[in-house]
Amino acid sequence: MASARSSAGRTGPAAEPSARRSTRRPPRPPASATTAVSTSSFSPGGTTSSDGSTPWAFPAARGLFPPHAAGGGTPCANGVAEGRGARQDGRMTETLTVGVLGTGIMGAAMARNLLKAGHTVRVWNRSADKAAPLAGDGAVVAPSAAEAVRDADVVLTMLYDGDAVREVMREAFPAVKPGALWVQSTTVSLEDVDRLAADAAEHGLAFYDAPVLGTRQPAEAGQLTVLAAGPAERQDDLTPVFDAVGSRTVWLDQPGAATRLKLVANSWVLALTHAGAETLSLAEALGVDPDKFLELIQGGPLDNAYLRTKVGLVRGDQLSPASFAVTTAEKDARLIAEAGRRHGVRLDLAEAGAERFRRAAEQGHGDKDMAASYYASFDK
Ligand SMILES: NC(=O)c1ccc[n+]([C@@H]2O[C@H](COP(=O)([O-])OP(=O)(O)OC[C@H]3O[C@@H](n4cnc5c(N)ncnc54)[C@H](OP(=O)(O)O)[C@@H]3O)[C@@H](O)[C@H]2O)c1
């Protein structure tokens, strides 16, 4: 069998965790639907709310949305514009203005699905060339983070890590309108969540810790699983956003809880990725046809669709474009290992996995799919 050592590609969806409260939403409405629908009507079949009474409850409840410039709405007697993002009673409508900061693999796909769902989307990315193509999908491409969030009902951050989020939001905060919702979907540390939530409170935003499960393909298909935690009284307002980017929203108690579950889920995903990579490299080293191994486990409790997908990417030389890049996976592995250390557990696999990703990146595979952990089994 030919060695797979030349390879990259696409992954299937990441494993979905179970959680205390989770629902599946009904089929997505037509992408062009812009009819104003009360967010309260989403509750039974859509996302579920946590029970509130959280210290994170944002003081400004619904009804804060001022006349909506991007929606071109007409001021009503109560001073709230008709049009996108606001209703006569001040509650948010189904279509909103969303400022998306970060249009990498995940952010670009999420922005496109927000556009398909009829939202007004303003995007910004540090490297302008990654944001520019979204103009063709109908997004307003902003020259700065501040311009992207101006007039936004919802700010969505999908950046590399916590430092990047803080850096970008420092510039954006002065332009965010009071009472806007901040959906923070970047995978960050638990300490970052605390810091970002404090920053949000300082600047008058309602903060939602909202990491996602699923990679490029589910992101492009609007099939992510959103893990969300934030002020209970505004959760319904986010249903149109979460329904646009995902097929399932799992609400958790308060900021931090969503990221904790995300890190646990990623611990599993990364361990599986390395297990597949090492098993493939060992098979090759021992002269065992990998297909013999896959046949051996087929249909039994050791079989695993994710393993087959990742091994397939390496063997099929489909590691580019990445679904989840090696460098991003290394960042996540280090977040997991650090979370374990801080909470008194040794996570040897996470530590070793981070090191495999580091070596693979050093060998020039940093932008490839994380299945390129395979290369870390070899000296070059
Ligand atoms: N890919 C997945 O399967 C997946 C799944 C779930 C969650 N996530 C998480 O989602 C986040 C984004 O992942 P991704 O795969 O979309 O990564 P990506 O394609 O590498 O995108 C990262 C984004 O962050 C920006 N960025 C990085 N450092 C920055 C800085 N200092 N200032 C401003 N912008 C900065 C990048 O801008 P440039 O274009 O200028 O570099 C890019 O827009 C990560 O936290 C990742 O862990 C990823």
What is residue 93's predicted lDDT score, i.e. its pLDDT? 56
160 C-beta closer than 6 A to ligand 1: yes
- Of 73-82, 161-170, 305-314, the one with minimum mean pLDDT is 73-82
Q: What is the mean pLDDT of residues 29-53?
A: 28
Determine if ligand 1 sits within 6 Å of the CB of residue 366. Answer: no
Q: For the chain, what is the HEC assignment?
A: CCCCCCCCCCCCCCCCCCCCCCEECCCCCCCCCCCCCCHHHHCCCCCCCCCCCCCCCCCCCCCCCCCCCCCCCCECCCCCECECCECCCCCCCCCCEEEEECCCHHHHHHHHHHHHCCCEEEEECCCHHHHHHHHHHCCEECCCHHHHHCCCCEEEECCCCHHHHHHHHHHHHHHCCCCCEEEECCCCCHHHHHHHHHHHHHCCCEEEECCEECCHHHHHCCCEEEEEECCHHHHHHHHHHHHHHEEEEEECCCCCHHHHHHHHHHHHHHHHHHHHHHHHHHHHHCCCCHHHHHHHHCCCCCCCHHHHHHHHHHHCCCCCCCCCEHHHHHHHHHHHHHHHHHCCCCCHHHHHHHHHHHHHHHHHHCCCEHHHHHHHHCCC
Q: Which ligand 1 atom is at minimum distance from the Cα of 332?
A: 47
Ligand 1: which residue has its CA nearest to atom 18? 104
Contacts of 359 (CB under 8 A, 6+ apart): 375, 376
Q: Are 90 and 62 in contact (CB under 8 A)?
A: yes
Q: What pLDDT, on the 0 to 100 scale, is given for residue 125? A: 98
Q: Is residue 127 within 6 Å of ligand 1 at its C-beta? A: yes
- Interior/surface letters 13-26, b for 16+ CB within 10 angstroms, e for the rest: bbbbeeeeebeebe
pLDDT (0 to 100) of residue 131: 98
pTM for this entry: 0.81
pLDDT band at 94 (very low <50, low <70, confident <90, very high): confident
Rg, C-alpha atoms of the chain = 21
Rounded mean pLDDT, 175-203: 97
pLDDT at res. 25: 37
Nearest to 255 by CA among 213, 196, 212, 208: 208
CB 351 within 8 A of CB 334: no
For the CA of 216, the nearest atom of ligand 1: 3
Report the pLDDT value the prediction gives residue 380, as an integer from 0 to 100. Answer: 75
How confident is the model at residue 92, as a pLDDT?
A: 53
Q: Read off the tokens for 153.
A: 């009902």
CA 212, chain centre distance (Å): 4
Q: For residue 80, how far is its CA from the centre of ligand 1 (angstroms)?
A: 35
Residue 77: the pLDDT is 25
C-beta 130 within 6 A of ligand 1: yes
- Six token digits for residue 341: 């250390």
- Lowest-confidence region among 77-91, 120-134, 269-283: 77-91
For the Cβ of 194 lying below 6 angstroms from any atom of ligand 1, the answer is no
CA 58 to chain centre: 23
Averaged pLDDT for residues 150-178? 98
Dihedral sign computed on CA atoms, order 59, 61, 65, 71: positive
Protein residue whose Cα sits closest to atom 29 of ligand 1:
164
The residues pairing with 154 across neighbouring beta strands, listed in sequence order, are 98, 181
Evaluate if residue 19 carries a pLDDT over 60. no
User: Separation of 286 CA from ligand 1 center, angstroms?
Assistant: 37
pLDDT at residue 334, rounded to an integer: 98
Q: Ligand 1 centroid to 299 CA: how many Å?
A: 36
| Averaged pLDDT, 205-217 | 97
pLDDT at 129 (0 to 100): 98
Q: Is ligand 1 within 6 A of the CB of residue 104? A: yes
Atom of ligand 1 nearest to the CA of 161: 45
Asked whether 81 and 71 are in contact (CB, 8 A), the reply is yes
Distances (CA, A) of 194 to 180, 201, 320: 19, 11, 35
Q: What number of other Cβ atoms are within 10 A of residue 9's Cβ?
A: 21
* Burial status of residue 273 (CB atoms within 10 A of its CB: 0-12, 13-18, 19 or more): buried
Set out the domains of the chain in order of their start, with CATH numbers. 23-253 (3.40.50.720), 260-377 (1.10.1040.10)
pLDDT of 370: 98
Q: What confidence category does residue 36 fall into, taking pLDDT thresholds of 50, 70 and 90?
A: very low
- pLDDT average, residue stretch 3-25: 36
What is the tens place of the pLDDT at every residue in 73-88?
222 222 222 234 444 4
What would the two tokens of residue 15 be? 């494993």
Say how many Å lie between the CA of residue 246 and the centre of ligand 1: 18
Closest atom of ligand 1 relative to the 186 alpha carbon: 45
Read off the pLDDT of residues 125-152 as tens digits, 9 standing for 90 and up. 999 999 999 999 999 999 999 999 999 9
- Per-residue pLDDT at 10: 30
pLDDT over 80 (residue 39): no
Report the pLDDT value the prediction gives residue 31, as an integer from 0 to 100: 34
Residue nearest to atom 1 of ligand 1 (CA): 324
Query: From atom 5 of ligand 1, which residue's Cα is the shortest distance away?
Result: 215
The residue-averaged pLDDT of 323-340 equals 98
What pLDDT, on the 0 to 100 scale, is given for residue 83? 33
Q: Compute the mean pLDDT over every residue in the chain, rounded to the nearest whole number.
A: 82
Q: Is the pLDDT of residue 310 over 90?
A: yes
* Ligand 1 near 215 CB (within 6 A): yes
- Across 54-68, 78-92, 278-292, the highest mean pLDDT is recorded for 278-292
Residue 53 predicted with pLDDT over 90: no
CA of 24 to the centre of ligand 1 (A): 27
Give the span between the Cα atoms of 292 and 310, in whole angstroms: 17
Please report which confidence band the pLDDT of residue 362 belongs to, taking 50, 70 and 90 as the band edges.
very high
Cβ–ligand 1 distance for 226 under 6 Å, the answer no
- Residue 317, pLDDT > 90, answer yes
Nearest-angstrom CA–CA distance, 264 and 85: 35
